[in-house]
Amino acid sequence: MCYIIPTAAAVVTTFIKKKTEKLYWLNLMFYGGAVFGFVDHLWNGELFLVSPDWVKDVLLGVVITVATVVVWAFILLFSKKKIKAAESSI
């Protein structure tokens, strides 16, 4: 069930009115996390299985979603630095 939270984040970012390129990439990353979780659970035969410790599953989904946002933020930070460095060398 850990794929539920990234899926919810992907759906929410899909319907945000103000679309930017940055939000587009975050949205793709959320869908990637959701698809990964879905495939992992499908592979292990646990797709719709609700475990006895569903709180851990949901918490794992939150961790996956937060990790996605952190990686996205680092990508934005490093891409800005690279762009500034390229502009200053011109």
Provide the pLDDT for residue 68. Answer: 96
Q: What is the value of pTM for the model shown?
A: 0.82
Q: What is the pLDDT of residues 16-33, one digit of tens each?
A: 988 898 999 999 999 999
Distance CA 14, CA 44 (A): 28
